[in-house]
Structure 1
């Protein structure tokens, strides 16, 4: 078992993934002090980062799907309604939609529920704006909001289902890896949670 986590440690070698499941390598990263200031890059004037104040679960899930379906984001789609509502209405959870003319282009979610820490729970963009530089601006906004509170740790995790540049992106932002895990979960495309044709880069076994 890994110390203080209760997570079992894998033995060296191969392990079979059950039919109908997906496997991903999860890397957790952290920054323990604010990064050095760098020149600001504001959002283009047609974009707005709008707070979602106590959103309804379906409003939130629609945004979550728009941003995350291509990368098999499913955790908030399978979470029980009451559990999701508890998160969405907590004063220490900040959720933002990046929008252009009312259309969702991005999601930012910060969780301050652990004293002295902030988790960057979700940061993502729809495919048509990936690679435009907007991700860096969104990260700058996340970092600024996180360190505006009295925290000593800002952390995030990414996985091999995410954009292939995600890990390098977080490292450039000032995060350093501190843990690696393997997660196996039911494939959300097989039970209708997500469309069967999304994330074609991930084999569908089942």
Structure 2
């Protein structure tokens, strides 16, 4: 769960050099939505639990899917902290693959009783707009609501695809909170290559 440490006053605020700022929108649903239609499954497409849940294979999957959108939170975790998450049976991690190529990932966190967080849902850039995102979301909804939960939630931010928030709302999520996150730019700290996410200015 996101916890705000301060409340911003109205007006502009400077971002420290070498940092990035993003607006984070948290969304939720408190009952299963009506099913949405899916496109036919492309040949050879498989969505399977991550076979090796050690930090290095996980980070490889995470980078492949998320580098374009500056996903960095898992990369910044120490090995022992990340290993503890990956070893928890209440965390589901699935990789979407076709012909041995990674196309996307899905991560669900059931560690909070009565709740499920959609921690990550993403596709590689060349698969966005193909209908695979909807297939991943339908799978996330099935898995989440098959458990005894009362709430399914996630957060998205302005570093994500411009259509991300509208995508989540189409599936029945509604916004409930907004935060601003400021963090060191992962392209400057070495967590991600400097050429990632050219849509986000690199100021350092």
Regarding TM over 0.5, the answer is: yes
**TM-score range, shorter-chain basis?**
over 0.9
User: How big is the shift at 1:29?
Assistant: 0.2
Q: Deviations over 1:83-107 (max 9, x none)?
A: 0000001000000000001111001
Q: Where does the alignment leave 5 or more consecutive residues of structure 2 unmatched?
A: none
Contact 1:42 1:137 in 2 (8 A): no
RMSD: 1.3
Instruction: Write the distance in 1 (CA, Å) between the matches of 2:112 and 2:22.
Output: 26
Q: Which secondary structure does the structure 2 equivalent of 1:181 belong to?
A: strand
Instruction: Write the distance in 2 (CA, Å) between the matches of 1:62 and 1:53.
Output: 13
Q: What does residue 65 of structure 1 align with? A: 63
User: How big is the shift at 1:42?
Assistant: 5.0
Match of 2:21 among 20, 23, 36: 23
Normalization by structure 2: what TM-score? 0.96
* Poorly superposed stretches of 4+, deviation over 4 Å: none
Instruction: Write the distance in 2 (CA, Å) between the matches of 1:186 and 1:195.
Output: 14
Contact 2:23 2:179 in 1 (8 A): yes
Instruction: Write the distance in 2 (CA, Å) between the matches of 1:126 and 1:5.
Output: 29
Instruction: Write the distance in 1 (CA, Å) between the matches of 2:17 and 2:3.
Output: 27
Instruction: Write the distance in 1 (CA, Å) between the matches of 2:40 and 2:141.
Output: 14
Contact 2:52 2:58 in 1 (8 A): no
Normalization by structure 1: what TM-score? 0.95
Contact 1:53 1:95 in 2 (8 A): no
Q: What does residue 109 of structure 1 align with? A: 107
Match of 2:156 among 158, 173, 176: 158
Corresponding residue pairs, total = 203
User: How big is the shift at 1:128?
Assistant: 1.1
User: How big is the shift at 1:191?
Assistant: 1.9
Q: Which secondary structure does the structure 2 equivalent of 1:94 belong to?
A: strand
Q: What does residue 123 of structure 2 align with? A: 125
